[in-house]
Amino acid sequence: MNVGTRKILDRSFTAVGIGSIVVMGIALLIVIVPIVFNGMGSVFFTGTIEHRNMLYNEFGKGNSDVLARENAAAGAYRREIYSMLSKFEAELESMEPEKQQELRAQYGPVRTALQALFGPLPGDPEAVLTRYKYGQTRWDKAQEKLHEFLYEAKWDYSDPNAMAKEYFVSRAAGFEGTSLVKLFPYVEKNLDRLLRPEFTVYWGFLTDSSVDSHIFGGIWPEIQGTFFLAVGAMLFAFPLGVIAAVYFTEYAQDGFFTSMLRSANSTLAGVPSIVFGLFGLAFFINTLKVSESKSVLAGSLTLAIMILPTIIRAAEEAILSVPKTYKEASLSLGSTKWNTIMTVILPAALPGILTGGVISLGRAAGETAPIIFTAAVSVGSAIGLADVFSSPTPALSWNIYNLASEHEAAAEIRHVQYGMVLALVGIVLLLNLSAILLRARISKKLKG
C-alpha cells in the first residue's frame, strides 16, 4: 500500500469518525432538547390567577392581600359574564318550549367550557375534586380552552373514501338573536383580564406533593421515592458486590465451581428487568414477607439484585487492573493477605469500583419493571425514613409510565409528565456527577 492510499484511508477514517460523533450529537440533541424544553415548562410557565389561588388554598403560598386585590380585579370582569349568563337563563324561561330545548342543548357545552376556563360558576354545587375547584391554571391551556369555548368541533364525513375532516363552528352563531351572543366576543377580548396571566416560576413543582393525582402540585413524593429506592439498592448491592469481586479475584480457586459462579453472574446481568420484578414479588414479598405490602425495602432489594452483576463485574475489572507490584510490595513487607486487600488493593481499585457503582445507581433510579410489583404506587404521600420498611412509594420512573398510559386526564397534564422526565434525567445526571467528582478526589488523594 503506497503512502497516498494510506493517507486517503486515514483521512476517510477520520471523516467517518467525526461524522458518527456529529450524528450522535444530533441524536442526543433531538432527544434532550424537547425533554429539557418541555420539562422546564412545568416550572417556568405563564400562570393564571387560578394557579395563584390554587397555591394559596392548597399550599398556603402567596400573599393574601395581593391575591385578594387580584381576585377583586378579575372578579369585576367575571361578574359581567355571570350576569350575562343569568340574563340569558331568564330569557330562556320566557321562550317557547321548542326553541328553549334547542338552545338548552347548546347552552350546556358553553357552561362546561366556561367552567373549564374560570372554575365553578355561581350556582354550581361545590366541587369535591380539586381539579374542578379551579379554572385553567396555565395560560397556554387556557387559550386551548378558549378555542373550545368559542368554537364547536365537528366532523365532516361527507367524503366516504377519505378521512373525515375536523371543522369548527362558532358557538356564537347558535345564539344569534339572544343576549348570550355578546358573551363570546367579551370573553375572547378580556381573557387576560379575566385570568391575569403572569410569568410564574413554580419551584414548588419539585418540592410540593401532588394534589388530586397530579392535576396540580408537584412531584416531591416521586423524587423522594426514586432517591430512596436508588440509594437503598446501592446500600445492599455495593458492599455485596465488592465483597463478591474480592472473592472472585483474590480467594477463588480456578475450577468448575468458580467458573459456574462467574457464568451465573454474567447470565444474571442479561436477565430482563421484569423478571427481577416478578422474582422480587414472589421471593421478597410473598415468601420472605419482608413487608406486609409493597415497600421501599422490597423494591430496593429487588433493584439491588438487578444491579449486583454489573457492580461485581466492574469491581472485578478494577481490582484486576491494580498493578501486581502493589500487592507484591505489600506482601513482601510482611503484610497479611487481608491487610493487603484492605489497605492496598481496594483503595487503588476504588475509582474503578465507583464507576461501576455510578452506572448501576443511574440504572436503579431509572428502572420501572422491577418496582412495578415490589415498590411503586401511582398515588401516595411522601414517606418518611421510618416508613421505608413498610410503605410503598411513588417513584419517577413508574409515574411517568402511569401518566403516559393510565391516567384518566393524561392529555391535560402532559407538562407534569415532561417535568417528571426532566427530573429523572436530572437526578441521574446529578448522581453521576457527584460520583465522578468523588472519584476524581479519591484518585487525586491516591496519587498523593
Partner 1 sequence: MNFFRKILFSAAVLGLMSGGTAEAAGKIVMDGSTTVGPIAKSFAAYFTKTTGVQVTVSESGSGNGAKSLINKTCDIANMSREMKDKEIAAARAKGVNPVEHIVALDGMAVVVHHPGNRVNALSRAQIRGIYQGKYTNWSEVGGPNAKIVVIQRESNSGTQDSFKELVMGKETPITKNAETQASNGAVKNRVGSTPAAVGFIGLGFVDNAVKALKVDGVEPDEMTVKNGSYPITRPLFMYTNGPATGVVKQFIDLKNTPEGKRMISELGFVNR
| Site residues for partner 1 per CB under 8 A | 125, 127-130, 132, 153, 155, 157, 160-161, 163-166, 211-213, 224, 227, 285-286, 292-294, 372-373, 376-387, 391-393, 402, 404-411
CB of residue 354 vs partner 1: minimum separation in angstroms?
17
Other Cβ atoms closer than 10 A to 175: 19
Which of 255, 293, 314, 304 minimizes the C-alpha distance to 383?
A: 293
Q: By CB neighbour count within 10 A (0-12 exposed, 13-18 middle, 19+ buried), where does 39 fall?
A: buried
Closest CB 33 distance from partner 1, rounded Å: 24
Q: Give the cell for residue 252.
A: 477463588
**Residue among 378 and 432 whose Cβ is closer to partner 1:** 378
Distance between CA 138 and CA 215 in Å, rounded? Answer: 12
SS3 215: coil
Is the Cβ of residue 77 or residue 238 nearer to partner 1 in the bound state? 238
Name every residue whose Cβ is closer than 8 Å to that of residue 240 and which is 6 or more positions away in sequence: 304, 308, 311
Rounded to a whole number of angstroms, the minimum distance from the CB of residue 154 to partner 1 is 10
Let me know: does 245 contact 319? Beta carbons within 8 Å. Answer: yes
Q: Which is nearer to partner 1, 307 or 382 (CB)?
A: 382
β-pairing, 198-201 vs 210-211, is unpaired
C-beta closer to partner 1: residue 118 or 248: 118
With CA atoms as reference, report the closest residue to 226 among 28, 80, 1, 427.
Answer: 427
Provide, rounded to whole angstroms, the least separation between the CB of residue 446 and partner 1: 18
Asked if 413 and 140 touch (Cβ cutoff 8 Å), the reply is: no
Task: Determine which helix (DSSP H) or strand (DSSP E) holds 47, and give its type and residue range.
Answer: strand 44-47
Task: Give the shortest CB-139-to-partner 1 separation in angstroms.
Answer: 20
Distance separating alpha carbons of residues 109 and 172, to the nearest angstrom: 12
Closest CA to 423 of 369, 376, 366: 366
Least gap, CB of 385 to partner 1 (angstroms): 4
Query: What is the closest distance, in whole angstroms, from the C-beta atom of residue 396 to partner 1 in the complex?
Result: 16
Contact 303, 364 (CB under 8 A): yes
SS3 assignment for 53-78: HHHHHHHCCCCHHHHHHHHHHHHHHH
Nearer of residues 5 and 405 to partner 1, judged by Cβ: 405
Closest separation in Å from C-beta 149 to partner 1: 14
Smallest distance, partner 1 to C-beta of residue 130, A: 8
Cα–Cα distance measured from residue 92 to residue 178, given in angstroms and rounded to the nearest whole number: 9
Amino acid type, 209: S
Q: Cell digits for 222? A: 416521586
CB nearer to partner 1: pick between 63 and 112: 112
Residue 207 or 335: the one with the smaller Cβ distance to partner 1 is 207
User: What is the Cα 176 distance to its own chain's centre?
Assistant: 47
Calpha distance 134→150 (Å, rounded): 20
- Nearest approach in angstroms of CB 275 to partner 1 is 17
Give min distance, CB of 118 to partner 1, in A. Answer: 17
Judged by beta carbon, residue 266 or residue 286, the one nearer partner 1 is 286
Cell of 10: 486515514
What is the sign, positive or negative, of the torsion defined by CA atoms of 125, 126, 127, 132? positive
